[in-house]
Structure 1
């Protein structure tokens, strides 16, 4: 994909919103899970912060209250808990409808299959339109096929009544078309993250390189592949460390990873940071950011955050990644689930075959032009304008 422009399909599907903020903001409720704070939750949080610039005031309803309420930056946005006892606890749709009427929300915006079912019911009871945000392909969201199948059926049922689907990448829009969604209900709004006020100058790393990765660590994030690639690079004589930022999804998966680390003799080469609100501070301590995902992405927020921080990215060729970076220009692309190829692509940067400085410069410019949080909020507000005939 050209570095000069985002594909024209985006501008065809997204109607830009007005930039003048009206005196009275229309109210939108984002219905979210809320138990984690990772990529999708970062999108929700940033929308809450930026949408008022384009005429919309955001509130949140959490159906699985947890980390989101503690970690969010948009603390000016009201947040309500509406706990669901299980994924089919549809009685809560009535409670959501009551909240929509009481708060006079103009749009209901759902972000997961679970919340889409509630949004569908509340929309039916109130007549308020609902929007569904497609963050990743539900059919490939985890390594549990039965759970994926159930969630996809729930999603397909609910989105049949959605006024618009907001897809975070062209690849996800194609996925939704394959499920029978017409172009007239698809809008593409790429994810975005804030620009840094001032990106610190950095010199080309020398000596030991610090690789970094940021995720809610679970099987589809490919951490095992990165560990195998690290062992390969160390065998070739490269001086590297890994800075791993984020929590594990389950204690069982954490135990599996730590055993692999022990087998590969990497215990002294990894810093486990855990969950942190200040991810930007972590990027400043990485020389090269690595996203080894196997599948199931949309447009990974951590890739955009790394670009904004001026930390060159090595990422696997999964959904949305190549819409943000082009191999050898604004980042490095590796094959998914291929430790040897990932090691080779990292090595290309370590040895200077790929220009670390030029990748950093190009990525900073590309993020600023296409992938800011303001651009994302403008696109989502344009979708609201479209369904409300503003």
Structure 2
């Protein structure tokens, strides 16, 4: 512990922290947004000044302020101050180019107005001008990797055929397998800004490893997400032979999440002892396909969205969480919630999913993209529901860290970076 000259523990400096993310509540509510909100709320509770800056797609008339071609508004989300902005005439996500003069001017204005001690990027899509401006002004920034956006224009390392991609290979794989001829140009601007971060953090070892396969010189620290235990209640159900089972999926309803695989697997298992509850939202075309498949099976239901307040009850009503993603999922927070709630999981055998679910210990893995193999694993449990008792007993042995632990680790990182910045300034004098 650091101590001052009197020998007493030194008081930590209160920091001014800017969090930047590609979308945020209430407009968007996936795992990245939840992570940013959790960290902002944790730092605020410690006395630090925080603000979330996010891109937004609201109607232009809903933004009362403007800086050139960029409009913005400010609001609070559960006590966290938020600044939401958008360009009036374009979506930055539609171009590989960075350094847009309108967005650069806006980023400079915001940073000069907020005067942050450091900036934490939860996701820099549509916000690269903030990263460029931070580097130009000498403001230290932290990046938490939540997908493959820096090295993959599609963010998922999935080729157009939905085959897993080993990495961009300087844009060559992007050109051949995804028909993206400008990917090399994109990598040329994005990778230097990733390397310029004062700290790069990954919530999972698998995501860190895949980045380092493409960028061997990149130093990535692994720091697992924490769980908000106030919202968790353990599922204490004990299973017997012949028990009915309810499968659960929660999260984004997007093709790369593989939700269709659960419905395909259900169609191979003609039993009335099995039900499926799907929670979430997503693109209308994919959601409609899921709705059609669910309508053909009266055991399956699309249940809409669920909130943090619903988590305790929801996990009392289900028996197995299914995470069937067909991409190298980073660290699915819904899987986190399920395991903390002592609900065993069935997950694809790649990425952060296989990192958290050990086959035969706290659930089962199945071959990625293989609905038939998923059906086989479901049948194993249907034939012997008492397997779930073993999984649940094993889950008690593994404690998922709390959000408070995650926040403590980030706070230490923040302070170390700010101290090193102060020391650097002193040496220059």
Same fold (TM over 0.5): yes
1:179 to 200, 205, 214: 214
- Give 2:222's aligned residue: 188
- Number of residue pairs aligned between Structure 1 and Structure 2: 357
1:229 to 265, 281, 285: 265
How far apart, CA to CA, are the structure 1 residues paired with 2:411 and 2:41? 13
Does structure 1 conserve the Cα–Cα contact (< 8 Å) formed by 2:357 and 2:364? yes
Deviations 1:284-308 (A, max 9, x none): 2211111111114111111101111
**Distance verdict in 2 for CA 1:350–1:375, change over 3 Å:** farther
How far apart, CA to CA, are the structure 1 residues paired with 2:415 and 2:315? 36
How far apart, CA to CA, are the structure 1 residues paired with 2:182 and 2:392? 40
**Distance verdict in 2 for CA 1:116–1:187, change over 3 Å:** farther
Is structure 2 residue 113 aligned with structure 1 residue 80? no
Does structure 2 conserve the Cα–Cα contact (< 8 Å) formed by 1:110 and 1:132? yes
2:30 to 24, 38, 44: 38
- Give 1:17's aligned residue: none
TM-score after normalising by structure 2 = 0.74
- Give 2:289's aligned residue: 256
Deviations 1:202-251 (A, max 9, x none): 232764311110121111111121111111122xx362111000002x21
TM-score after normalising by structure 1 = 0.81
How far apart, CA to CA, are the structure 2 residues paired with 1:240 and 1:155? 47
- Give 2:171's aligned residue: none
Classify the secondary structure of the residue corresponding to 2:249: strand
Root mean square deviation of aligned Cα: 3.0
2:273 to 239, 255, 265: 239
- Give 2:236's aligned residue: 201
- Give 1:133's aligned residue: 144
Classify the secondary structure of the residue corresponding to 2:119: strand
User: Shift in Å at residue 313 of structure 1?
Assistant: 1.1
Does structure 2 conserve the Cα–Cα contact (< 8 Å) formed by 1:193 and 1:373? yes
Is structure 2 residue 297 aligned with structure 1 residue 271? no
**Distance verdict in 2 for CA 1:383–1:176, change over 3 Å:** farther
User: Shift in Å at residue 95 of structure 1?
Assistant: 2.0
**Distance verdict in 2 for CA 1:226–1:155, change over 3 Å:** farther
Between structures 1 and 2, the one with greater helix share: 1
1:61 to 31, 39, 53: 53
- Give 1:327's aligned residue: 359
Does structure 1 conserve the Cα–Cα contact (< 8 Å) formed by 2:256 and 2:326? yes
Gaps of 5+ in 2: 1-8, 59-74, 93-97, 161-177, 421-429
User: Shift in Å at residue 83 of structure 1?
Assistant: 1.5
Instruction: After TM superposition, list the pairs within 5 Å mapping 1:79-98 onto structure 2.
Output: 79-84=82-87, 85-87=90-92, 88=98, 89=100, 91-98=102-109
Classify the secondary structure of the residue corresponding to 1:242: strand
Does structure 2 conserve the Cα–Cα contact (< 8 Å) formed by 1:309 and 1:364? no
**Distance verdict in 2 for CA 1:261–1:177, change over 3 Å:** same
User: Shift in Å at residue 122 of structure 1?
Assistant: 2.5
User: Shift in Å at residue 28 of structure 1?
Assistant: 1.3
1:312 to 344, 347, 353: 344
Classify the secondary structure of the residue corresponding to 1:389: helix
- Give 1:27's aligned residue: 16
**Distance verdict in 2 for CA 1:146–1:166, change over 3 Å:** farther
How far apart, CA to CA, are the structure 2 residues paired with 1:104 and 1:21? 24
User: Shift in Å at residue 283 of structure 1?
Assistant: 2.3
Does structure 1 conserve the Cα–Cα contact (< 8 Å) formed by 2:32 and 2:123? no
**Distance verdict in 2 for CA 1:285–1:92, change over 3 Å:** same
How far apart, CA to CA, are the structure 2 residues paired with 1:110 and 1:65? 19
- Which one has the largest radius of gyration? 2
- Give 2:130's aligned residue: 119
How far apart, CA to CA, are the structure 2 residues paired with 1:97 and 1:47? 24
User: Shift in Å at residue 125 of structure 1?
Assistant: 4.2
Gaps of 5+ in 1: 1-19, 67-71
Classify the secondary structure of the residue corresponding to 2:286: helix
Deviations 1:126-174 (A, max 9, x none): 3211111111223352665357985973642431322221111111111
1:102 to 100, 113, 117: 113
- Give 1:377's aligned residue: 407
**Distance verdict in 2 for CA 1:117–1:146, change over 3 Å:** farther
Instruction: After TM superposition, list the pairs within 5 Å mapping 1:145-156 onto structure 2.
Output: 145=178, 150=183, 153=187, 155-156=190-191
Q: Which has the higher contact order (CA 8 A, sep 6+)?
A: 1
